[in-house]
A and B are shown apart, each in its own frame.
Chain A
Amino acid sequence: MSARDDHGYGAPRGLWRELDRHPPPGADAVRRGWRSPLRGPWLTSVLGLVLLVTLPLVIITGLLDYAAYGPQFGQAFPTHVSWLRLPTFDWPTRPSWLFRLTQGLHVGLGIVLIPVVLAKLWSVIPKLFEWPPARSVAQVLERISLLLLVGGILFETATGVLNIQYAYLFGFDFYTAHYFGAWVFIGAFVAHVALKLPRLVTTLRKRRPAVPEQPDPDRLVAERPGPPTLSRRGLLAVVGGGSLLLALLTIGQSLDGPLRRTALLLPRGRNPGSGPNGFQVNRSATAAGIQPAETGQAWRLTLTGGGRTVQLDRATLLAMTQHTARLPIACVEGWSTMQTWTGVRLADLAVLAGVPDPASAHVRSLEQGGLFRQATLQSNQVTDRDALLALRVNGVDLSADHGFPARIIVPALPGVHCTKWVADIEFHDA
């Protein structure tokens, strides 16, 4: 410590000393204006620990969702991410609720943690207005990394929350911004954890301190704490209560039946209709520009691969061996629903096309525009026993909005890749 005895100034010492000696008007009043007796290392550490355990779950489920879109086929957005991604692997089809879980967790937990993030920021906000803002180059750099950390979590939360509510106020591509913003946050988060974990551990290992806490080296504790109006436990209960409230108003997005309506304030908190086809629609036939003439008697499914082309009408498909599977359909926006689908196994269609052991299959929709008018399926997604070209749902024909005359449904496949209004499937040999 002998090298730092000059108030801990780094080089150039003269600069930092001058900065310290010339606070802007009001800096003193601001410093003494922090009155809450609850702020202190213990409170910050507890909130930090909660985020340390939970945020990695949000990060990992987010990156897994990217992997679920099949980046190896160039169909995960953004497409060009260099090495900023998980290693490529084949997204599994089992358990069938895998994507429902990862996406539900990503969105749900992301929302539930908002009060914890806000409380954590509240607990450290005096540091933002501290004078001098830095005493060394190290502190300047750390402050910049904190802008990446705080900007990162707020940017990710804001874009995510707006996206699931269809409010694209930001005017840039959601996928690009949310994905790359996440990486900026991940870098800052890892650095912050590595730098602060030792302090968190020493703080929480000690006996829980009284309110207000003893003055600390980070100066989180108020210089002139006022009388408490709420206990520290009370504050934590308020934060937890906020999270619980958000959880109760979000979980409905992933539930079927009357409980869905508990997501009172979210667009997916209700069923769009009644009857067998009365479940969530991501994109309607009208929005996709599907003409009734295209899906009527004239519709044919074209299968290609192995040098041959097969055309099937709907009656022929219905005459083939039908398979029924109860599978969830889950959207990247965090909602999901479980339905009973009936149709022809994709594996049977692959055999018909002369590719009994396909390495992949490319599915195209009748839809002309739209980001998700086609999708490539991996080998395991074609050959899974429950991977279907569905013709019926819950015992009746698919409705136009659910993809009549035929749609793809594959276990654990992201909803947008369960192509609707299928026109042709191209099977590729191993």
Chain B
Amino acid sequence: MRERLRADYGAGLPHALLLLACFTIAGWVVFLVSGEATLWRMLLWFVGAAVAHDLVLFPTYAALDRLLRRTTGTDSAARRALLNHIRFPALAAGLLFLVFLPGILDLGKDTYQAATGQPRVSYFIRWLAVSGALFTLSGAVLAIRWALGRSPRHGAPPTTATPPR
């Protein structure tokens, strides 16, 4: 019986029970919110969030990274160091943009003002400043590493960012 289930279903009984429980909760949730006028909007956002990540965000950052790798080259430790010292602040700036997008793009300003009576300034300039600071810091660290790497006492170019092969 167990063998049979495993062969036909493709996994053991606990697998089936766990997923049954998971779908029961999800189904129950849909039942509970089924009276909401905005049910379809919620479902759209739920599935849309996964689609937006998998088919928009991921391909975009992967393509940008590929472009960056082609531009800097990756065939020497120095080039890889340059690549990573652009990559890290770029990733950080992108992350901040994603998380703090409403403030940066001035969304929700009116809601905030109406609720609290407080004016809100756009955070676009602040985001640019933080990003700029991260790029500058990263560049400075790279310059120091190059300077140390080139000095005769230190010999070879820095290799801390290169992986163990």
- Residue numbers of A with Cβ under 8 A of B are 3-4, 8-11, 80-82, 84, 111, 114-115, 118, 121-122, 125, 128, 135-139, 141-142, 144-145, 147-148, 150-152, 154-155, 158-159, 161-162, 165-173, 176-177, 180-181, 183-184, 186-188, 190-191, 194-195, 210-211, 227-232, 234, 238, 241-242, 245-246, 249, 264-267, 272, 281-287, 401
Q: Which B residues, 113 to 165, have Cβ-Cβ distances below 8 Å to chain A?
A: 114-118, 120, 123, 126-127, 130, 161-165
Contact in complex: B161, A136 (CB < 8 Å): no
| Shortest Cβ distance from B47 into A: residue | A151
Contact in complex: A184, B25 (CB < 8 Å): yes
| Shortest Cβ distance from B33 into A: residue | A180
Q: Which B residues, 56 to 91, have Cβ-Cβ distances below 8 Å to chain A?
A: 58, 69, 74, 80, 83-84, 87-88, 91
Supposing A114-B95, A165-B102, A287-B114 touch, asked if A170 and B41 sit within 8 A by C-beta, the answer is yes
Supposing A8-B10, A238-B91, A287-B114 touch, asked if A154 and B50 sit within 8 A by C-beta, the answer is yes
Contact in complex: A151, B46 (CB < 8 Å): yes
Contact in complex: A4, B7 (CB < 8 Å): yes
Contact in complex: B100, A10 (CB < 8 Å): no
| Shortest Cβ distance from A82 into B: residue | B32
A194-B18, A265-B103 known; 5 new pairs, CB 8 Å cut-off, are A3-B7, A125-B58, A168-B111, A211-B164, A229-B74
Contact in complex: A147, B50 (CB < 8 Å): yes
Q: Which residues of A contact B36 (CB under 8 A)?
A: 172-173, 176
10 A-B pairs with CB atoms under 8 Å apart are A148-B26, A162-B108, A168-B108, A172-B45, A187-B21, A190-B21, A191-B19, A242-B95, A265-B103, A265-B123
| Shortest Cβ distance from A4 into B: residue | B7
Shortest distance from the beta carbon of B110 to any chain A beta carbon, whole Å: 9
Contact in complex: A166, B112 (CB < 8 Å): yes
Q: Which residues of B contact A137 (CB under 8 A)?
A: 8-10
CA distance A230 to B127 in the complex (A): 26
Contact in complex: A272, B92 (CB < 8 Å): no
Residues of B in contact with A, size category: 35 or more
Contact in complex: B10, A176 (CB < 8 Å): no
Contact in complex: A264, B58 (CB < 8 Å): no
| Shortest Cβ distance from A230 into B: residue | B84
Contact in complex: A166, B130 (CB < 8 Å): no
The 8 A-B pairs with the shortest beta carbon distances in the complex, nearest first, are A136-B10, A167-B108, A284-B117, A138-B10, A10-B10, A187-B25, A3-B7, A167-B102
B100 is contacted by which of A154, A165, A181, A190 (Cβ under 8 Å)? A165
CA distance A281 to B91 in the complex (A): 34
| Shortest Cβ distance from A401 into B: residue | B117
Q: Which residues of B contact A230 (CB under 8 A)?
A: 80, 84, 87, 161, 163
Contact in complex: A188, B50 (CB < 8 Å): no
Counting chain A CB atoms within 10 Å of each CB, which of B16, B108, B114, B165 scores highest? B108
Shortest distance from the beta carbon of B82 to any chain A beta carbon, whole Å: 11
Shortest distance from the beta carbon of A124 to any chain B beta carbon, whole Å: 11
CA distance A177 to B95 in the complex (A): 24
Contact in complex: B26, A4 (CB < 8 Å): no
B99 is contacted by which of A4, A122, A246, A283 (Cβ under 8 Å)? A246
Shortest distance from the beta carbon of B50 to any chain A beta carbon, whole Å: 4
B32 is contacted by which of A81, A122, A158, A168 (Cβ under 8 Å)? A81
A267 is contacted by which of B10, B25, B103, B161 (Cβ under 8 Å)? B103
CA distance A38 to B88 in the complex (A): 17
Counting chain A CB atoms within 10 Å of each CB, which of B3, B26, B46, B101 scores highest? B46
Contact in complex: B29, A180 (CB < 8 Å): yes
Contact in complex: B123, A264 (CB < 8 Å): yes
Shortest distance from the beta carbon of B128 to any chain A beta carbon, whole Å: 11
Q: Which residues of B contact A154 (CB under 8 A)?
A: 49-50, 52-53
A264 is contacted by which of B8, B53, B98, B126 (Cβ under 8 Å)? B126
Supposing A150-B50, A158-B45, A287-B114 touch, asked if A266 and B32 sit within 8 A by C-beta, the answer is no
| Shortest Cβ distance from B7 into A: residue | A3
Contact in complex: B49, A155 (CB < 8 Å): yes
B83 is contacted by which of A151, A158, A229, A286 (Cβ under 8 Å)? A229
CA distance A264 to B83 in the complex (A): 28
| Shortest Cβ distance from A287 into B: residue | B115
Q: Which residues of B contact A168 (CB under 8 A)?
A: 108, 111
| Shortest Cβ distance from B6 into A: residue | A3
Contact in complex: A4, B6 (CB < 8 Å): yes
B26 is contacted by which of A184, A272, A401 (Cβ under 8 Å)? A184
CA distance A34 to B102 in the complex (A): 33
Contact in complex: B74, A227 (CB < 8 Å): yes
Contact in complex: B104, A265 (CB < 8 Å): yes
Q: Which residues of A contact B41 (CB under 8 A)?
A: 170-172
B46 is contacted by which of A152, A162, A281, A282 (Cβ under 8 Å)? A152
Q: Which residues of A contact B95 (CB under 8 A)?
A: 114-115, 118, 242, 245-246
CA distance A190 to B26 in the complex (A): 13
